[in-house]
Structure 1
Amino acid sequence: MANIRLSGLASGIDTESMIKQLMQAERAPVDRLSQKKQTLTWQRDAYREMNRALLDLRTAASDMLLSKNYSAKSVVSSNSNVLSVTANSTAATGSITIDRIDRLATPASLTISQGAPTTPPISTTTMLKDSQLLGIDSATKQASLELQTYAADGSKTVKTVTLHLDETATIGDLVNQINGSKELGLSAVFNDLTGKLVLSRQATGQLNTSDEIKWTDQNASALTTLPAQTAKAGANASYQIGGTSLEQTSNTFVQNGLTITLNNTTTSPTTLTTKLDTQTNFDTIKKFVDKYNDLIDKMNKKVREEKFRDYQPLTDAQRKELSEDEVKKWEEKAMSGVLKNDPLLRDGINDFRSTLSAKIDTDYTIPSASGPITLNSLSQIGITTTSDFRDGGKIKLDETKLKEMLEKHPDSVYRLFTVEAPQKVTQPDGTEIKNPDGLSGFIRQIQAFTTTLRDKVSSVAGRDGSVATTYRLGKSLADIDKSMLSWEDKLKRKEDSYYRRFAAMEQAMNQANSQSATLTNYLTQGQ
């Protein structure tokens, strides 16, 4: 109720509208501050968008320092039905022949058969107390089973798990508990047709023990007849290479950088042929180049984006007068060009462009018909800038040339991308001085430039979640907020002053009207 004002009762003047119009003019400085705040906010957000893109490129550059991205291998099996294979970057190129595969690795198993027949035959829904598989303690009404096996990796660390089940538990409950115990590394299956419970090790291979799986019923004395236990030892995979017999505990194993999977036995030789996977290596480089070009494209668009100076951020009053679609179109114009000709981004683009023409100190030569060639330029492996100046330094790949270098000299590509420049050079007299022209590889330069540019941008616009007082635009925004609060206090006092003046006018007019009415009444009575 304190904010309700009744004005113009005596004068008949719409003082409320008059004060609003007066205050609208008074609010002009606040509106300008609000517009400036919005512009700085858009600028901060645009900088942060660039910062995230720079971080993405720097992360990709870190991945490109790994040698595997330049030396991926492909391998082919002459008979994938009996042997399948993949290769990692450490695999040697060439061929290897597996003479024969005599045996596949199998897991150890233990089969539990009921000791006495039951009517009806047992199934997964049969209660343990009726199954003649496990005894039930007469006092506790519980079954207690101890299972023992070796670790899943085949080591001699014995794993022992005790399962406790009450007399209402079924064979299905027992199976679920065994399968649910990751510590055991066993798989349990109950066959309703045979009435047998089969436990198998999840890991294949033969262990140095006759008790690879051990079943101990703590209440066996409660059974009419003890169940039969049939153990089957695990077997190692057996194969021959060059007349030498070898064994593996698993059908999948790594040998000389090849991940080999034995699928079937065979007496026929199987040849594995390994070679450089030039296409994969090329695709990896192209993927990074595409990310690099995307960043350059974003930076160029920001510094070249048209600035529409007639489109300032909308005030609250202006926003109310426009439709939602009109507001959207207006703000697209107003936001455009917030980083136009930005010096940080311009310098960053120039730095990136310089990496493509710089002489890199690889200390590496490649043979040619005219003699060894020193490798020191990206153009030598098919990486240059596009001929269109409007691209602003995007990379162009000569696919044929780059693939040829990846095929014949993969180390050269790797060094041009990742070499660390020598910090010093040795002069003819043997003394060392700082290397005046030492440049690291392309990827390391990209890492350095993205890190430096991110730091510069962050000092201006901060990073996501940064405290406002830690970056330049944040301090400016905080100062504007303080100024706006100060102005709002001034405007409140100004508005109150207008209302007081109009109230005084109304009061004076009320008094005049009252005097006029009294005088009129007096003159009327005298007639």
Structure 2
Amino acid sequence: MAGIRLSGLASGIDTETMIKQLMQAERAPVDRLSQKKQTMTWQRDAYREMNRGLLDLRSAASDMLLSKNYLSKTVTSSNPSVVTVTASAGAPAGSVTIDSVDKLASASSLTISQGTAKLTSKTQLKDSQLVGIDSTTKKINLELQTYAADGSGTPNKVTLQLDETATIDDLVTQINSSKELGLSAVFNELTGKLVLSRQATGKLSEGEGIVWIDKNASALTTPPTRVVKDGNNASYTMGGTQLEQTSNTFVQNGLTVTLNDVTDKQVTLTTNLDTQANFDSIKKFVDKYNDMVDKMNKKVREEKYRDYQPLTDAQRKELSEDEVKKWEEKAMSGVLKNDSYLRDGMNDFRSTLSAKIDTGYTIPSASGPVALSSLSQIGITSTSDFRDGGKIKLDEAKLKEMLEKHPDGVYRLFTADAPAKIKQADGTEIDNPNGLSGFARQIQTFTTNLRDKISNVAGRDGSVATTYRLGKSLADIDKSMLTWEDKLKRKEDSYYRRFAAMEQAMNQANSQSATLAGYLGQG
């Protein structure tokens, strides 16, 4: 019966309830620690939520360093069935004409066959007569060689050694799995022919495209037939000049051109700046920037309800699920109110919108060239309402106009590197006062710095508690709570012992009283 407490039998007092009430008062320090732990946990989680948003913004800023977001081009072909084309950011705007496509590129191939023999992909190599078998090892010893695209240099060599019971299908698999050879092997069961083709197209200037060396060829009753087909270069005419390419897909002046068919008619490729796509890239970044600023601003301005502390376990049991939810929404509110890290971060962000950026780019005006050095010149400013926390206001018409007329300038406003430091007469260096890095680079730097500061306080997802400040504090609270729980256990046991002693004394008194009453009754 160990651990079972029987109380109040002699005194009639509900000692169990009385001890619980006494312990409830004793638990006040533990409840305060638990509430403090919960508040710090909410604070940590809120910080980490900010850090995840900052990481997304930093990734977006890194992507905005790419020229494709400002100089993207659209390109069309007047005859896509003959020529298809895509454009890189570096492709010049304008039109080019391909006068004719005379020949498509093809790959060299080697066909191996054995007369009219009935072969299938499951025919064993010893029965195929396509390759000889070593009488001792019962294996094939086949060396394949392929040359570089221009036929020069040392050939790639691969030796295949398969058992005589391996099938033609096994041989095909071995050839295709060899990256060094760069071959595609196919066995055609209708014709009984094994065809090896180079994956790379083009005509070789010297040497064979594919070399088949069967070192056990003498073991064959009838040597197989080998048919070599040379590869061809693609041939086309531009501006009256005939040109050749080893592949049907090639890059020329920033255009990736694919020849699909021959033609004697002109095909025109027209390249234009894709202003809408470039605008959309910047708009997407601005939206992400505004979303992050909005999240930070709401956390800094969020109302703090000081009368709503985290619920204790006892309080939680007295409330309904809906009441708990509503209470905790207010208790969680304001955990980062007026947070200095977020305030400083928003100030840094705001500073980028008015910073002078050294782009080295000028735009013409009636009074002469004007340096392009401010985001406001391309329609990017901060909103006039200070409660927005420094969100961006976008003049879409102005930005599109600048992307149309000065895409390189817009690109530099976002991506320019900070000017080199200035060396003074005494040899020391100071920051160049004439400009800062581009907008995207500054945001990249500020988000990185802010993430590091927050991580020192709240860690990152999966961080060990001892590596960040709040984690250490939470660990200390856990230790204190364990100490207090041990004290409370001893205190509770002490109360039970005292009440048990009282019950025992009262029980003895009652027994003595009953005995005395018995004696008196006899007299």
Q: Which moved more, 1:273-282 or 1:162-171?
A: 162-171
Match of 1:41 in 2: 41
More displaced stretch, 448-457 vs 310-319: 448-457
What's the offset of the Cα at 1:384?
1.8
1:128 deviates by: 2.8
- Measured after TM superposition, the shift of residue 201 of structure 1 is 0.9
Question: Displacement, 1:66?
Answer: 3.1
Moved more, 322-331 or 51-60: 322-331
User: Any idea what the Cα deviations from partners look like across 1:485-505, whole Å, max 9, x if unmatched?
Assistant: 332232122112111111211
Q: Is the 8 A contact 2:150 2:203 kept in 1?
A: no
**1:370–1:481 CA distance, 2 compared to 1 (3 A):** same
Pairing of 1:124-523 with structure 2 (within 5 A)? 124-151=121-148, 156-422=153-419, 438-523=435-520
Matched pairs, number: 520
CA distance in 1, matches of 2:159, 2:418: 62
User: What is the identity, as a one-letter code, of the residue corresponding to 2:308?
Assistant: Y
Q: Matched residues in 2 for 1:234 and 1:152: separation? A: 10
165-174 or 22-31, which deviates more = 165-174
Change (3 A) 1:478 1:426: closer
Structure 2: stretches of 5+ with no match in the other structure: none
Q: Using the alignment, how far apart are the partners of 1:9 and 1:412 within structure 2?
A: 92
Tell me how far apart the structure 2 counterparts of residues 505 and 147 of structure 1 sit (CA, whole Å).
101
The residue aligned with 1:64 is 64
User: Residue 171 and residue 369 in structure 1: after superposition, are their counterparts in 2 closer, same or farther (change >3 A)?
Assistant: same
CA RMSD of aligned residues (A): 2.8
Cα distance, 1:194 vs. partner? 1.4
Give the superposition deviation at 1:432. Answer: 10
Q: Indicate the residue corresponding to 1:84 in structure 2.
A: 84
CA distance 1:488–1:153, shift in 2 (3 Å): farther
Displacement, 1:402? 1.0
* AA aligned opposite 1:95: S
Cα deviation, residue 379, structure 1 = 1.6
Q: Tell me the CA shift for residue 481 of structure 1.
A: 2.4
Q: Which moved more, 1:307-316 or 1:32-41?
A: 307-316
The aligned counterpart of 1:21 is: 21
Distance 1:254 1:175 in 2: 33
Q: 1:337 aligns to what SS in structure 2?
A: coil
Structure 1: gaps of 5 or more residues: none
> TM-score if structure 2 supplies the norm length?
0.90
Matches within 5 A, 1:112-127: 112-115=112-115, 117-118=116-117, 121-127=118-124
Matched residue SS, 1:143: coil
Deviations 1:25-56 (A, max 9, x none): 11112111101110111011101211221222
The answer for the alignment partner of 2:105 in structure 1 is: 105
For residues 310 and 153 of structure 1, what CA distance do their matches in structure 2 show?
81
Q: Distance in 2 between matches of 1:161 and 1:31?
A: 74
Deviation track 1:89-132 (CA, whole Å, cap 9, x = no partner) reads 222233322232222111111111114x44xx222233333333
Structure 1 stretch displaced more, 247-256 or 448-457: 448-457
Alpha-carbon distance between aligned partners in 1 of 2:38 and 2:347, rounded to the nearest angstrom: 30
Segment of structure 1 superposing worse, 297-306 or 413-422: 413-422
Cα shift at 1:433: 7.7
The 1:136–1:470 alpha-carbon spacing in structure 2 relative to 1, beyond 3 Å, is closer
Measure the CA separation in 2 of the matches of 1:460 and 1:72.
41
With over 3 angstroms needed to count, the CA separation of the structure-2 counterparts of 1:148 and 1:448, relative to structure 1, is closer
SS state at 2:7 partner:
coil
Indicate conservation of the 8 Å contact 1:152/1:202, yes or no.
no
The separation in 2 between residues aligned to 1:213 and 1:510, in whole angstroms, is: 109
Letter in 2 for 1:77: S
Equivalent-residue separation in structure 1 for 2:254 and 2:322 (angstroms):
61
Opposite residue 32 of structure 1, the aligned amino acid is R
Work out whether residues 151 and 209 of structure 2, in 8 Å CA contact, stay in contact via their aligned partners in 1.
Answer: no
Taking the aligned partners of 2:230 and 2:431, their CA distance within structure 1 comes to 68
Per-residue deviation, 1:255: 2.0
Task: After superposing the two structures, state which structure 1 stretch, 154-163 or 173-182, moved more.
Answer: 154-163
Please give the per-residue CA displacement for 1:409-466, whole angstroms capped at 9, x wherever unaligned. Answer: 1222123223345466899xxx998655744332233233323333332333233344
The alpha-carbon distance between structure 1 residues 154 and 394, as it changes in their structure 2 partners (threshold 3 A), is farther
1:176, 1:201 → 2: CA distance? 15
Letter in 2 for 1:145: L
Corresponding position of 2:51:
51
Shift of 1:76: 2.2
Residues 411/426 of structure 1: CA separation in 2 closer, same or farther (3 Å cut): farther
- Letter of the 2:256 counterpart: T
Provide the secondary structure at the position in 1 that maps to 2:256: strand
Distance 1:150 1:456 in 2: 56
Task: Please tell me the residue identity of whatever aligns with 2:276.
Answer: Q
Residue deviations 1:354-395 (CA, integer Å, cap 9, x gap):
322334344542112343333232121111223455433221
Distance 1:217 1:308, change over 3 A: same
CA contact (8 A) 2:121 2:167 kept: yes
AA in 1 matched with 2:478: D
Matching of residue 96 in structure 1 with residue 96 in structure 2: yes
On the 8 A contact 2:151/2:208 being kept in 1, the answer is no
Indicate the larger mover: 88-97 or 318-327.
Answer: 318-327
Query: Residues of 2 paired with 1:132 and 1:348: CA distance?
Result: 76
Taking structure 1 as the reference length, the TM-score comes to: 0.90
Partner of 1:200, secondary structure, is strand
In structure 2, distance between residues paired with 1:447 and 1:132 = 66
Q: Which stretch shifts more, 379-388 or 26-35?
A: 379-388
Amino acid at match of 2:513: S
Change (3 A) 1:179 1:223: same
Q: Is the 8 A contact 1:83 1:263 kept in 2?
A: yes
Tell me the CA shift for residue 145 of structure 1.
Answer: 2.7
- The Cα shift of 1:396 comes to 2.2
Q: In 2, distance between residues paired with 1:178 and 1:426?
A: 63
CA contact (8 A) 1:303 1:345 kept: yes
Q: Which amino acid aligns with 1:90?
A: G
